[in-house]
Structure 1
Amino acid sequence: MKGQEWYQADDVAAEYDDKRFSRGGRLIDRREKEAVLDALGPLEDKRVLEVACGTGRFTVMLAERGADIVGMDISAAMLEEGRQKAQAAGVSDTLEFMRGDAARLPFPDDHFDSVVAMRFFHLADTPKSFLAELRRVSNDQVFFDTFNRFSTRSIYNWALPMGSRLYSRYEVDSLLEKSNLELVNAEHDFVFPYGFYRQIPDDVASAFRSLDTKLLSVPGLDRLASVSYWDTRV
């Protein structure tokens, strides 16, 4: 099953968080949330759009911190999980979940202060057009992540039946140039791919994560990172 088809399957949504963010996956969840919070900065009254919001991991977190946020996803089942999460967190009245296509965002130009797209571009069939649309509705910031082509992720990706799109630095730079976005910061992380962390217990994952960060602290070895976070401005 291809990645987009798998993601939209109704039975995937109910188990999505447990499969990806339990065990060693908790490290991934924490790191991704840290990256989003660091990039967006102060959130009080900031207008934010999260594209491909899934089960609302980031949407709910940002609403709890004062953002005026809309979470959009193509999967109705994922959005229902997000609504339940928002209700449990007590923020269901302060955010909006809506179903939609990232290729045709139903918002005017420059409508949001920040647009966030996490775990999205590895499934994007036309990344150039998607990124241009994210840029269109943002008046300041577009923040997204990619899985990297020349990394251990390529081995993991080869073994995945659904596959995912991997990006080189040249490809990301080209996408940014064509979308008229300026890169202001990039962070590269996780030598060991996400799938590896999800298969091991917390304590074992912590040991590998320590090794991971030590490797990436060596000058030049960030090229081994399997994921990158891109903070851009319009």
Structure 2
Amino acid sequence: MKGQEWYQAAEVAEEYEDKRFSGGGRLIDRREKRAVLDALAPLDGKRVLEVACGTGRFTVLCAQQGADITGMDISAAMLQEGRAKARSAGVADTLEFMRGDAARLPFPDDYFDAVFAMRFFHLADTPAKFLSEMARVSKDHVFFDTFKRYSTRVAYNWLLPMGSRLYSNAEVEDLLDSAGLTLRNAEHDFVLPYGFYRKLPSWLADPIRDADLAVGETPVGDAVASVSYWHAHV
């Protein structure tokens, strides 16, 4: 997986959310959380797995919505941040964090009602294998996001030391088919890439996001979006 050593560094985990979701980055955090809840809610009483849970942003959110959720990640440092977040939110006793490999999920078939992964597939070196494992352990929902190949993300990728894996819609549809999944819904968003918003103060990010959304609502909006949210079922 791309950036695996970088991702597991303690200093990266400690600064991860402040660098990505403060200032203009809060708009990304808000949109991602809405995407997860729109796909998986109602969560009360559902058994859920989050793959590559990182610092537990979504794990804690789902626990607060009543899910019986497990957050799994390869980074011990990220999991430590997630456990601290769960304690602060008062849900430490209602969720589980565990270290594990997304290519070999340590669960039986059909164990969860829903399985999801955010900010993961752009790092995946074997996306078909990861998605097949997610499908295997889910009875119903599988949800994930990708960065789009034909978008402003291409230019942003040139600035990154390790880059990101970018996907065309057709490639994701092929991955879904290979994993035995049927697409329920796909949403495409953010004409401007995430990295742009993270550099902006809140007062400037808000009007730019409004303009971004306006473009997204036009007939070309989906074609020029940089992020896709994929909701499938087994």
Could you say whether these structures have the same fold, taking a TM-score greater than 0.5 normalized by the shorter chain as the test? yes
Look up the match of 1:225: 225
Q: Is residue 190–residue 212 contact of structure 1 (8 Å, CA) maintained in 2?
A: yes
Matched residue, 2:86:
86
1:198 aligned residue: 198
Q: Tell me if 1:130 matches 2:133.
A: no
Distance 1:32 1:109 in 2: 27
Query: SS at 1:203's partner residue?
Result: helix
Deviation per residue, 1:56-80 (Å, 9 max, x gap): 0000010011000000000000000
SS at match of 2:79: helix
- Corresponding residue number in structure 1 for 2:66: 66
Q: How far does the alpha carbon of each residue in 1:114-167 deviate from its partner, in whole angstroms, 9 at most, with x for none?
A: 001000000101000000000000000100000010000010011111211000
Alignment of 1:61-210 (within 5 A): 61-210=61-210
**Identity across aligned pairs (percent)?**
71
Q: Which runs of 4+ in 1 moved over 2 A?
A: 2-5
Aligned to 1:9: 9
Query: For residues 164 and 220 of structure 2, what CA distance do their matches in structure 1 show?
Result: 26
2:24 matched to 1:24?
yes
Q: Which secondary structure does the structure 2 equivalent of 1:88 belong to?
A: helix
- What whole-Å deviation, never above 9, does each CA across 1:100-125 have from its counterpart, x for those lacking one? 00000000000000001000000101
Counterpart code for 1:57:
R
The size of the alignment, in residue pairs, is: 233
TM-score by length of 2: 0.98
Q: Which letter does structure 2 place at the counterpart of 1:150?
A: Y
- Preserved CA contact (<8 Å) 1:3 1:163: no
Gap runs ≥5 in structure 1:
none
CA shift, 1:194, in A, is 0.3
- Distance in 2 of aligned mates of 1:150 and 1:162: 19
Aligned-partner SS, 1:53: coil
The CA deviation string for residues 2-51 of structure 1, in whole angstroms up to 9 with x for no partner, is 52222122210000000000010000000000000000021111010000
Q: Normalising by the residue count of structure 1, what TM-score does the alignment of the two structures yield?
A: 0.98
> Helix, strand or coil for the counterpart of 2:53?
coil
